[in-house]
A and B are shown apart, each in its own frame.
Chain A
Amino acid sequence: MRTAAPPLPGPVTWFVRVLAAFVRRELVAMSGYRAAFATRLAGFAFVVVGLVFFARFVGASANPHMAAYGGNYLGFVAIGFLATELQQVGIAGLARRVRTSQIMGTLEAELATPAPAWMVLGGAPVYEFGTAALRSALYLWAATVFVGLELPRANMLTVVVAVPLVLAAFIGLGLLTAGSTMLVRRTNPVSAILGSLSFFVSGVVYPVSVLPGWLQRAGSVLPLTHVLVVLRGAFLMGASPAAVSGSLTALAVFAAVLIPLGAATFAYALRRARVDGSLTHY
């Protein structure tokens, strides 16, 4: 016979359990794909080694634009790539999660459980974001140990202050793109455009000082620009939170605007999907 159902946990406990379930499942699945993991690691190693030689080449020319970063081009470009990867995970993680689950067919079964939809859909990107942040930290550490990246002046207080703001701004962007992906029912071109635009005007591989003034101003409306100012300031120049307060404030504003806007868009898209049945179709 059936038994009396136990009470449901509170939303925070429940979400932590859902998140733990995603982490566990992904780790178990990943352990079965060791070759893919090794390939990814090898790919990263090739990129880093390539950057080392590129940095030597650029460094040898004593570029005046690099003076503001202590002439440390390897550190400059490594932080540029890591921040870009974090942004891409933030922008595309949730949207990709929706698409992949639709295509794999797991989404309907997950949404049929008592867990609220935001929990089901939020668990995987939070996992992806968490692992991306952890991976970035590991990459930086590996680059200092194995390829001679020097970060002697890193100001960890600024890093600690900046990381929650960076994550919040990118999560807000992610909610916005995921919501619009669900509404238009196809992979959202906004994430691709935003990714390439940010690469172009935020200064991922070159300082924004090489750009004309109007492009620099255009870049200031993108979160990645401020993320790079803060992280490069903290890691390469030992900047205190006060020294990069302008960009920290900009990131706080991005988070304050993008998270409610993204959450509202996402909630509307979820409601629409339950009306037209599109959440479980592809």
Chain B
Amino acid sequence: MTVASAVPASPVVTVENLGKVFRPPGGTRELLRGRLWRDPVRALEDVSFTVAPGEIVCMMGPNGAGKSTLARILGGLLVPSSGRATIAGHDAAAGAPALRRSVSFVVGDERSFHYGVSGRENLRFFAALHGMGAAAIRRRTDELLERVGLAAAADRRYREYSRGMRQRLAVARGLLGDPEVLLLDEPTLGLDPVGARDLRVFLRDDMIRAAGRTAIVCSNDPTEARALADRVLFLEGGRLTREVSPDRIEAELGL
């Protein structure tokens, strides 16, 4: 299934016939059978869609549908087995620094920060990986901590942060390089309903709409999709099966 953006502008994200097959290395059982690899796992198959500038597209699907694999390919962290994906004109498969400046992969995984240092120090570290000098690092991290509402807690150790604060810090990290496209993988995972609602409003209104960004949100939460997305694409078994409008999600899912 190919899903094109309804917005008449040249797309900022283009995915064409994307496929990904993993070949897990074999264990003792496979080796005894004379095989080096387990059976291949088809994570994505023939996925095509486009996203127009300023759009928020939610990628929904059950666990194991291929959402995170797709996000990692678009973020330049994984090479597709077939097909092609471009973001702001950069080939995702090349994974070049120019691609990773245009797109920011915001992982909700709270283990992705150093627990022993403060939120500010964590952010400064990642700012250096963006190539910023000392003055730019100070300016940018202070600005982002203020914007995500963590300025007062910036010097507390990361391990002392609540789940919501950790998610906000992950968002701040994603904005360090001022990317054109945000890839948000389960951005409100594990948050309480009020915290999740507040973070969604903040992301949609301040971080995406007001900044003129484009976003792809991977989630299996209908509330999240309805709150954030302009369009919802369904991935099932690695295939793009349908597109629905956000207000029809529950009906589509039979909820």
Contact = CB atoms under 8 A, between A and B. Distances in A.
Q: Pick the most buried of B72, B77, B107, B129: most chain A CB atoms within 10 A of its CB.
A: B129
A115 B23 CA distance: 28
13 contacts: A2-B212, A5-B177, A8-B101, A20-B128, A28-B117, A108-B77, A113-B100, A113-B126, A116-B97, A274-B78, A276-B23, A279-B77, A280-B72
Interface stretch (B130-138, B195-203, B224-232, B241-249): B130-138
Interface stretch (B9-17, B55-63, B108-116, B146-154): B108-116
B117 A17 contact: no
A19 to B, nearest CB: 9
Interface string A1-40: 1110110110001100110111011001100110000000
Nearest to B111: A105
Nearest to B178: A2
B173 interface: yes
A115 B112 contact: no
Interface residues of A, number: 41
A33 B116 contact: yes
A62 interface: no
B116 A29 contact: yes
A14 B133 CA distance: 9
B211 A1 contact: yes
Given A25-B114, A109-B107, A1 B212 contact: yes
A267 B187 CA distance: 32
B65 to A, nearest CB: 16
B125 A25 contact: yes
A272 B112 CA distance: 22
Interface of B: 22-23, 25, 69, 72, 75-79, 95, 97-98, 100-101, 104-105, 107, 109, 111-114, 116-118, 121-122, 124-133, 136, 157, 173, 176-178, 180, 210-213
B113 A277 contact: no
Contact of B130 (A105, A111, A113): A113
Contacts of B112: 105-106, 108-109
B129 A113 contact: yes
A275 interface: yes
Contacts of B116: 28-29, 32-33
A44 B126 CA distance: 34
A5 B111 contact: no
A120 interface: yes
B25 A114 contact: no
A24 B97 contact: no
Given A9-B131, A17-B133, A114 B100 contact: yes
Contacts of B22: 276-277
Nearest to A107: B112
B133 A28 contact: no
A127 to B, nearest CB: 12
A48 B180 CA distance: 57
A96 interface: no
A112 interface: yes
Interface in A113-137: 113-116, 119-120
